[in-house]
Structure 1
Amino acid sequence: MVPSKVIARLRPHAARASWAVAEQAVSPLLMTALTPYLLKQLGVDQFGLWMLVMAIVGMGQLTSLGAGTATIKHVSADLENGLVEDAVATIRAAVTIVVLGGGFVTLVAAATAPLIAQIFFAKMGSFAIVSQLLVLGMVLMLIQELDNVFSSALRGAQRFDLSAKIEFFTRIVWAVGVGLLAWHYRSVVAVLSGILLLSVIKAGFKAHQVNRLLSVSICHKLSLDLLYLKRVVTFGKWQWVQSFGGMLFSVADRLLIGAVFGATDLARYSICSQLAQYVHAIPAVAMQVIFPWLSAKKEKGESIQRLPLCKYALYAGGGCFLLSVVLFISAPVLLKVWLGEKFYVDNIELALILISAYGILAFNVPVHYFLMGLGEIRFLSVTNLVAGLVSVSASLILAPLGLIWFSASKLLFGPIILINFFKVKKESK
């Protein structure tokens, strides 16, 4: 049984964790509900194109140098010490990095999209449509990263409730809008154009909320203050490396499937991933409250006993893994109810492999956030990068054997990053 002391220590964070889950769970839940409808309105191939664009959007942290995570760390520490001006300056620096990095990548994408579509994504369908979607994806990625900076500022202030309320309302509007656009136009280009507009509005709402929370009006404005730009990049560069490793697990696979197998296989892989990733996403969004809390304690110089943290990480990791066991057992029934008997028969093996991979990853979630809060971003970056490179290398080797074997390569990522537990234990001595 979990010791009562552990429960007592975690209880104060339960409300923040609940808001964090509410904020980031609403989007995948709505997407899950919409998937059967969108498959009917858009068709499998266009749905696959949408998933390709979402994979591109998932590469956002590579263009922002980890500005969002750096924002959480520094804002939490600054506000804990009453340094509001420093927190504001950090947010502005993060916005500047996102705009410059994302803007540059978007311009390059616009210039090279036709060539990329022709060389890498010939199996995804119409050359003209794929080119257009690549550019749309890059612009959407830029907006999403700006949104992420403002969300990170709210998380750094430990106001998960404010971000969650905006996310919940706008995502409901998003779901209705996507459904109507898919029904009326039956075009993935039209749907993504609508998503882009709604994303701009959502980011604007969050920027307003950050300004209001900090009693300023400049958090959304660019700043070229080198001191704060360096401050964000210094921490963010290791988050960039870590994000690259994570991208190799959760994004590169979809890009490779689009290039090697085509739109239809990308659609069914993405749908199975959509179900499987719940076992990692729910613990990840709940546990993220640990990062700003622990970071603030460390910044204040408070004593942190690391050996108990390792034990808590093991207890919490076991709880996170149980979710994958439940989903693994119930997956056959869920797939039949969700998308029908035929989809179940064709894809149950793929779904179970992905659930297992995400389940092992979920076990690592608590220790990941403990190490981030303790400032061990460099170590996390290296372990994630190594795990990602091994996983992708294996997928390329296994790709000729088919989609199932390609997907099995994801089972390698989680066991490799178990070394994170040894890092906490070692530093405790």
Structure 2
Amino acid sequence: MLKNGLFNLIGSILRLLIGVVTVPLLIRFLGLADYGLWALVSSTLVLVGLAEGGLAASTVYFVSKDLGRQDGRSLMSTFLMVSASMMTLATAMFIVLVVSAPIVSANFPNLTEAQRLIMVPALQWGGLAVWGRMFQGIFVGIEQSYNKYALNNLITTLQGMCSNIGLIVLAWHGENVIRLMQWQVAMVVIFFVVHAVFGLKLLSKTWGGKLGLIWDGRKFAQIIKYSTSVWLTSTGNVLFSQCDKVLVGAVLGPQLLGAYAAISGFTSQINGLASTMVQPVLPGISGLSLEVPEHRETLVARIRQACQVNLAIAYGLGGLLLSFAPVITGLMFPQDATLPNLLLAFQIQIVIYSFYSANSFAYFFLLGLNKGGLLMKVILVCSLLSLSMIYWGSSLFGFFGAIIGNAGFLGVFALTLIALKALDIKMRLLLQWIGWDSVVFLSLGLAGILLPVDVPIYYRCLIAAAQVVWIAKILLGERFKLSLSKAF
């Protein structure tokens, strides 16, 4: 897990750095209102992409099982069934977007007529991007099933770099949101082909290069059942991470949406990094059973390992962002007296995302233990609660009401409680694993908040250095090595 997690972490850090550069430049070249329009279009496309139905996650789960049994025939059957299903869903969503784009744009009362004229073709072009991303998920899942995390992260990082560099150049030359979306489509198509080539090459080694149609009705039913549970779970995550922007755009308009999207996009990287670091645990536990004593010991060892790594990334990265929050907001946003206190909003959002991201390990463990039903219920409830708080908060209290509304998603801590109960692990033991580390990270994070805005930068660097040292201690310390040796 550690090796693959580090590949994920390195790739995610590189993508985070690319995003750090991209967001402020897009805001400056496009303007806050047009950046808000870009965020609105992008979030709408992500919501449409939910139609993938959890098939990408099912690819990882079922391909990993087939590989564990060295069953080439079953592997071929899995690939063909998920591919055919994804092709059908992706094509349907492309048609829906092309037809419904004018209707969607008409449902945002705060958009000007000029902005609607841009949004409609941008959504229609985005339909191609949705098609490519949905189908690309199948081949990404194959790469992960074969533990090719280095390859997967290399391709994904290159895609992010090429995409964002192109967006910056186009915005710098004064192009509008439509041109930016056309560039996105081009990048999605190119890198979809790249993922497909590598994915098919990996599969051919297992099934011997002979491709044939093998339909297994029983297995197809299992895929649909698993995909549905994962889809309902991911729906909750995407509702929280994307539908909030749609609501804020509808209530507050594109300019404040631009500020909200920039802050949320930045802080969401905390969860992205925390999740990608512990994600490799899923293939490793998909074949384990709680009923087998030896398996249970392995699961407990891995949950300890994943919990410690998860906390280090979630709290550590949150602390780093808090240390440099005044610098980041100064770079991201123009000096405009009409805007709310964006520094305070950024700090609040960092704290919220850091706390909820510390539960990522529980998400993947429950997914690997096939407890998708519980995941679905908890995440959907928390998402709907948070979206309700964001909508009413923005309607009644404006920008800060929307920011604080994100706290509704902190209810995902219930996932940690469920995972501990499933493995019969006491809360006291969990606190022994992470208690002292939590105190250190929270203290350093508080120090970053309390620093005066105009303090010399080297004070912020000192706090950041302490965060990095403690992250390294967790990842490389003797305690972590011990849990790693038990896990393997």
Correspondence 1:79 to 2:67: yes
Q: Equivalent residue for 2:386?
A: 391
Alpha-carbon distance between aligned partners in 1 of 2:84 and 2:345, rounded to the nearest angstrom? 41
How far 1:339 sits from its partner (Å)?
4.3
Q: Does 1:363 align with 2:363?
A: no
Q: Return the TM-score normalized by structure 2.
A: 0.78
- Which is worse superposed, 347-356 or 280-289? 347-356
Q: Percent identity?
A: 20
Q: Which residue of 2 aligns with 1:331?
A: 325
Q: Aligned match of 2:406 in 410, 414, 425?
A: 410
Q: How does 1:37-48 map to 2 (within 5 A)?
A: 37-48=25-36
Residue 442 of structure 2 corresponds to: none
Deviation at 1:153, TM superposition (A): 1.1
Change in Cα spacing, 1:422 to 1:103, as seen in structure 2 (3 Å) is same
Alignment of 1:304-343 (within 5 A): 304-305=296-297, 307-308=300-301, 311-312=304-305, 314-319=307-312, 320-339=314-333
Deviation (angstroms), 1:95: 2.4
Q: CA deviation at 1:49?
A: 1.7
Q: 2:146 aligns with which of 157, 181, 193?
A: 157
- Partner of 1:173 in structure 2? 162
Tell me how far 1:119 sits from its aligned partner. 2.4
Q: How far has the Cα of 1:425 moved from its partner?
A: 2.5
- Greater shift after overlay, 400-409 or 92-101? 92-101
Identify the range of structure 1 (103-112 vs 198-207) with the bigger mean alpha-carbon deviation: 103-112
Cα offset, 1:208, TM superposition: 0.5
Mapped to 2, the partners of 1:107 and 1:222 lie a distance apart of 27
8 Å contact from structure 2 (residues 110, 252) kept in 1? no
1:195 aligns with 2:187: no
Deviation at 1:180? Answer: 2.9
The residue aligned with 2:468 is: none
Distance 2:270 2:324 in 1: 13
- The answer for the alignment partner of 2:475 in structure 1 is none
| CA deviation vs aligned residue, 1:189-238 (integer Å, no higher than 9, x gap) | 11110110111110110010011112269899998764554332211101
- Count of residues in Structure 1 that have an aligned counterpart in Structure 2: 416
Structure 1 Cα separation of the partners of residues 22 and 81 of structure 2: 37
Query: Deviation of residue 360 (structure 1)?
Result: 1.4
Partner Cα distance (1:219, 1:131) in 2 = 44
C-alpha separation in 2, matches of 1:219 and 1:162: 24
Q: Secondary structure at the match of 2:186?
A: helix
Q: Does residue 65 of the first structure (1) align with residue 58 of the second (2)?
A: no
Give the Cα separation in 2 of the matches to 1:421 and 1:61. 28
Matching residue's letter, 1:303: H
Match of 1:91 in 2: 79
The DSSP-based 3-state class of the residue aligned with 1:417 is helix
Structure 1 residues 356 and 295, CA gap change in structure 2 (3 angstroms): same
Letter in 2 for 1:366: F
User: What is the identity, as a one-letter code, of the residue corresponding to 1:82?
Assistant: Q
> Is the Cα–Cα contact under 8 Å of residues 51 and 93 in structure 2 kept in the other structure?
yes
Distance 2:320 2:155 in 1: 31
SS of residue in 1 equivalent to 2:111 = helix
The structure-2 alpha-carbon separation of the partners of 1:307 and 1:288, relative to structure 1 and needing over 3 Å to count, comes to: closer
Partner in structure 2 of residue 230 of structure 1: 221
1:152-172, Cα deviation, whole Å (9 max, x unpaired)? 111111111121222233333
Distance 1:183 1:218, change over 3 A: farther
Matches within 5 A, 1:184-223: 184-215=173-204
Residues 368-398 of structure 1: per-residue CA shift (max 9 Å, x gap): 1121122222211111011111111222222
- Aligned partner of residue 76 in structure 2, secondary structure: helix
Greater radius of gyration (CA): 2
5 Å-filtered alignment, 1:410-429, equals: 410-414=406-410, 416-429=411-424
- Taking the aligned partners of 1:55 and 1:384, their CA distance within structure 2 comes to 19
SS state of the match for residue 22, structure 2?
helix
One-letter code of the match for 1:407?
A: I
Distance 2:85 2:50 in 1: 11
| Match among 6, 23, 28 for residue 18 of structure 1 | 6
Q: Deviations over 1:170-196 (max 9, x none)?
A: 333323322333333521111110110
Q: Residue 102 of structure 1: CA displacement?
A: 2.4
TM-score, normalising length: structure 1: 0.88
Gaps of 5+ in 1: 1-12
Letter of the structure 2 residue corresponding to residue 196 of structure 1: V
